């Protein structure tokens, strides 16, 4: 069993209204030092080990998890604990 950690973030230049809302809220709460905020997704997947696991994960990201038109993704594959 492998543990795959995936980060999905908006590409540079793509507007991030959710991040903007977080920034405004933080500023309103008195955290004036907060500048740009970008909000992304983080996923942990437990996957059975196989020879082509990296190819599989790459495919999953491209086909289902991220929208490659506006999002970047990166992942790390780690030894997972047995569940």
79: helix, strand or coil = strand
Nearest approach, Cβ of 69 to its own copies (angstroms)? 19
Closest CA to 11 of 55, 77, 73: 73
Choice between 48 and 79, CB closer to its own copies: 48
Question: Scanning residues 35 to 54, which ones bind its own copies (CB under 8 A)?
Answer: 35-48, 50, 53
- The residue with tokens 């959710």 is 18
Do residues 83 and 3 lie in contact, with contact meaning Cβ atoms separated by under 8 Å? no
Nearest approach, Cβ of 14 to its own copies (angstroms)? 13
79 beta partners: 2
Do residues 26 and 37 lie in contact, with contact meaning Cβ atoms separated by under 8 Å? yes
Residue 56 interacts with its own copies (CB under 8 A): yes or no: yes
Residue 77 interacts with its own copies (CB under 8 A): yes or no: no
Q: Give the binding site for its own copies (CB under 8 A).
A: 1, 7-9, 19, 22, 25-26, 29, 31, 33-48, 50, 53, 56, 60, 63-65, 83
């Amino acid at each position: 069993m492998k543990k795959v950690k995936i980060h999905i973030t908006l590409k540079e230049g793509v507007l991030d209204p959710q991040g903007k809302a977080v920034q405004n809220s933080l500023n309103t709460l008195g955290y004036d030092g907060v500048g740009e905020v970008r909000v992304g997704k983080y996923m942990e997947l437990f996957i059975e080990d196989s020879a082509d696991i990296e190819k599989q994960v790459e495919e999953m990201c491209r086909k289902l998890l991220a929208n490659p038109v506006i999002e970047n993704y990166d992942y790390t594959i780690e030894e997972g604990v047995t569940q």
